[in-house]
Amino acid sequence: MNSISTFDIAKYPLLDLLKDIKNGCIQLPDFQRDWMWDDRPVCRLIASVSLGYPIGAVMMLQQGNYPLQFKPRLVDGVTLPEPNPPKLLILDGQQRLTTLFMALLSGEPVTVKEPKSQKGHRKWYYLDILKCLSPNLDRRSAIIALPQCKRSAHTCLDCTTPEKEYQSLLFPLSELFSFSDWRSRYSKFWHYDPAKLELIDALEQEVIKKFEHYQIPVIQLRDSLPKEAVCQVFEDTNTAGCDLNYFDLMSSSYCAGDFSLRDDWKLRESRLKTFKVLAKLRNTDFVQAVTLVSSYTRRARALSNGWSGDILPAVSCSRAEVLKLSKEDYQTWADLVTRGFEEAARFLYGLKLFDASDIAYPIQLVALAAIFSVLGEQSRNERVRSQLEQWFWSGLFGEMYTRWSEGRVSYDILEVPLWISNGPVPSTIVNASFSAEKLRRVRKRFGAVYQGLTALLRRQGAIDLHTGEAINDVIYFEEQINSHHIFPVSWCRKQGIDAKDYNCLLNRTPLSATTNKKISAKPPSVYLREFEESGIAPWTLDRMLHSHAIEPKFLYQDDFEGFMAARTQALLELIGKAMGRNLLREYLEQLEENNFHHNNGKSNGIYSIK
C-alpha cells in the first residue's frame, strides 16, 4: 500500500459488519440523514444479497488515536445504554447497512417510510421458500413484508406464531443468522417429513449460505484525513446525492457529550414556529443568524481595542464562517438570536406579513433577526422601527437579495445599526431601485414585488369588494385571499389587449374567491353596477376601490389604458413611501423625458394618463 494513500480497501463478511453495528463499533457521523427507505428498495436489496449479487462498496472513516472529528450516533435500530467510541463511521452505505441490520440481526421489525406521506410503518420480512426455489420467478417476488402484527388481511397471510410460519412455508429473515435453530424447530413441526426437509435443505444451500458467505467491499478513509476532506468525499460519493448543510456539519462537529445541537434546535424550533411567519424557518437560517451576531460582536470588540483595516475580523454568514462557529459561541448567542427572531416576527406582523409564504427572501429574515439581536431594547422605538421599515422595504422591492445575498446581509448587519446611531444610510437603501417597468414586468402571483405590494395594500386597509371586510380580517379567519384580475382575462382578450399587460401586477389585486366569482368574466362597469345593486353605496364602493389603489372612474368607463396609467402612479406612490423615495416624481420626470423622445420619433410604451 502506498504510504501517502488516504484510504485502504478490504472485504468484510456481512455478518461481521452487522455485529459491529450492533455492538456500536460501527456508527454514523451525526451529519448523516436519518434512515428513510421505503419497502421497494428494502426488497430489492434483500433479493440481491440472497442471490449473491454485488450491492456496491461502502465507505467508512477510521476512528483511531486522533481526537474525534465528528459526533457519532448509533445506527437506526441499535440500542445501547452506554456505547463505546466507534472504530468506524459510515460515510456511504448507510441505507444499505441499516436495512440489512434491521432486517437480519436487530430482532425488531423494520421501520420503512411510505414514499408519499413519509409516515413510518414497522414490518417483518420473510422469504417465501417455494418462490425462492423456483428458477422462473424474480427473486424480489419471494420477499414478503408483513405488518408488525405479522398478519395481512390483503394477502390472507398469518405468521403470528412460529407454527403458522412453518405452515405457510415462510422463513423469517430475522432468524437468518440462527438458521440451524429455526431449521430444527421447522423439522420437528413437520415430523421430519422428507419432502419438507428437502425444501429446507435446498433453501439453505441456494439462499441462506449466500447470506452467510456474503462479503462487502469497504473503503476505509484514514483517521488522519482532515475534516474538510472527509466532508468533500462524503458529498462527492454519497449515493443519495446529499450536500452537507451548515447545521449537519456543526451538529456533528460539536462532539461534547453534554450538548446536542439537534436537541437544542428542536426546542428553539417549537418555540419559534408558534409564529406563523416563522413556520418555514430552517435550522440553517438560525445558525446563520447566530454566526452574524457572533462575528459582528467579535468585530465590535476589535474596533474598541483600536484595531482597524484588514486585520479586523470579518462579519459574514457564509458557509466557511458558519463552520468556524464554536460550540461556546453558539451557546453564548443562541438565546439572544432566538429573541431576535421573535422580535422580527412581531415587526413583520406590523408590516402585515403574517405567513411564512409572505417572506420573499429568507436571507433577509436572517438579517432582520440578527439586527434585532444586536439592537436589543434600542429597537423598541418608533424612529428606529420606521428606519427598519425603510430598510426592509428597500431590500424587498429593490430585489437586493437575488444575487450575492450573503454579502448583502454582511453589509446590512454592519450598516443598519450604525445608521440607527446616526451613521450613513445603508447601501441596501442607497442602491435599491424601483421603476414602473417592474410593475409591468411582474406577472407571477408570487415573488418579492407581488408579496411586498400585497402587504402594503393590506397595511393601508384594502377592503374585499364583495364582503366589505378588510383583507386582514378575512385572512385572520383563515379564508383564502389570492391575486385576482381587476379587468377579467376573457374580457381583455376580446378587446385585443396584450396578455403581458392584462396579466401584469398592475391588473391584479388581493381578493377573496367569492369576490372573484362575482367579477367572473364581466367588464368592470357591469360587475360594479351589480355590487351597487346588491346594496353597496357608490361612495362606499369608491372607498373600497381606493383602498386597492384603484381609480374608480376608469373602471366605470371600462377604460383599461386609463386604469393602468392611474394605477401605475398610485402604486409607485405607495411603494415609494415605503422605500423612503419619491418614486412618483422620478417616474413623471422619466415620462416627460420619454414624451420628449416620443415627439422626436421614439416611444417606449410607458403608460400615461391622457
Tens-place pLDDT, residues 459-517:
999 998 877 888 877 765 556 678 889 999 999 999 999 999 999 999 999 888 888 88
**Domain regions of the chain by residue span:** 7-217, 246-433, 437-599
1: pLDDT confidence band, cut at 50, 70 and 90?
Answer: very low
The four Cα atoms 154, 170, 166, 187 give a dihedral, to 10 degrees, of 170
The single-letter code of the amino acid at 346 is R
Helix ranges restricted to H, 138-226: 162-168, 179-189, 194-203, 209-212
C-alpha dist (Å) from residue 207 to 16, 173, 201, 356, 587 = 19, 11, 10, 53, 79
Q: If DSSP states are collapsed to H, E and C, what string results for 125-153?
A: EEEEHHHHCCCCCCHHHHEEEEECCCEEC
Q: How far apart are CA 303 and CA 325, in angstroms?
A: 20
Q: Using CB atoms within 10 Å of the CB of residue 120, give its burial: 0 to 12 exposed, 13 to 18 middle, 19+ buried.
A: exposed
Find the helix packing angle between 362-375 and 405-420, rounded to 10°. 30
Pairing between β-strand 7-13 and β-strand 215-221 as defined by DSSP bridges = antiparallel
What is d(CA 487, CA 560) in angstroms, rounded to the nearest whole number?
Answer: 8
Residue 171 in 3-state DSSP? strand
pLDDT score, position 253 = 66
Cell of 490: 376573457
Contact 132, 202 (CB under 8 A): no
Q: How would residue 241 be classed by pLDDT, with cut points 50, 70 and 90?
A: very low
- Measured between its terminal Cα atoms, the distance across the chain in Å is 84
Q: Do the Cβ atoms of 15 and 70 come closer than 8 Å? A: no
State pLDDT tens for residues 374-420: 999 999 999 999 999 999 999 999 999 988 888 999 999 999 999 99
For position 152, what pLDDT does the model report?
85
The CA distance from 213 to 396, in Å, is: 62
User: Do residues 465 and 526 lie in contact, with contact meaning Cβ atoms separated by under 8 Å?
Assistant: no
pLDDT at 55: 92
Q: Where does residue 80 fall: left (phi above 0), alpha (psi -120 to 50 degrees), or beta otherwise?
A: beta
pLDDT bracket for residue 66 (50, 70, 90)? low
Task: Report the range of poorest mean pLDDT among 134-143, 195-204, 208-217, 269-278.
Answer: 134-143
Residue 255 pLDDT exceeds 60: no
Q: How confident is the model at residue 597 (pLDDT cuts 50, 70, 90)?
A: low
**Which ranges of 485-537 would DSSP assign to H, the alpha helix?**
489-494, 499-502, 513-519, 524-533
**Residue (of 476, 466, 467, 458) closest to 548 by Cα position:** 458
Residues 6+ apart with CB under 8 A from 386: none
Q: What is the pLDDT of residues 352-378, one digit of tens each?
A: 998 998 899 999 999 999 999 999 999
Buried b (16+ CB within 10 A) or exposed e, 99-112: bbbbbbbbeebbbb
pLDDT band at residue 250 under the 50/70/90 scheme: confident
Cell of 573: 406612490
pTM over 0.85: no
pLDDT band with cut points at 50, 70 and 90 for residue 610: very low
Specify which residues 220 forms β-bridges with.
8, 60
Say if residues 509 and 462 touch (Cβ distance below 8 Å): yes
Alpha-carbon distance values, 68 to 13, 65, 91, 257 (Å):
27, 9, 15, 12
In angstroms, the Cα distances linking 111 to 15, 41, 100, 146 are: 21, 13, 12, 12
Provide the H-helix boundaries in 213-282: 227-237, 246-253, 261-272
CA-derived radius of gyration, the chain? 33
Contact of 515 with 467, CB cutoff 8 Å = yes
200 burial type by CB count under 10 A (0-12 exposed, 13-18 middle, 19+ buried):
buried
**In the structure, what pLDDT confidence band is assigned to residue 243 with cuts at 50, 70 and 90?**
low
pLDDT of 256 > 60? The answer is: no
What residues pair up with 28 in beta bridges, in sequence order? 73
% pLDDT > 70, the chain:
89
Q: CA 244 to CA 322: how far, in whole Å?
A: 13
Beta bridge pairs of residue 508:
485
User: Residues for the chain: how many in total?
Assistant: 610
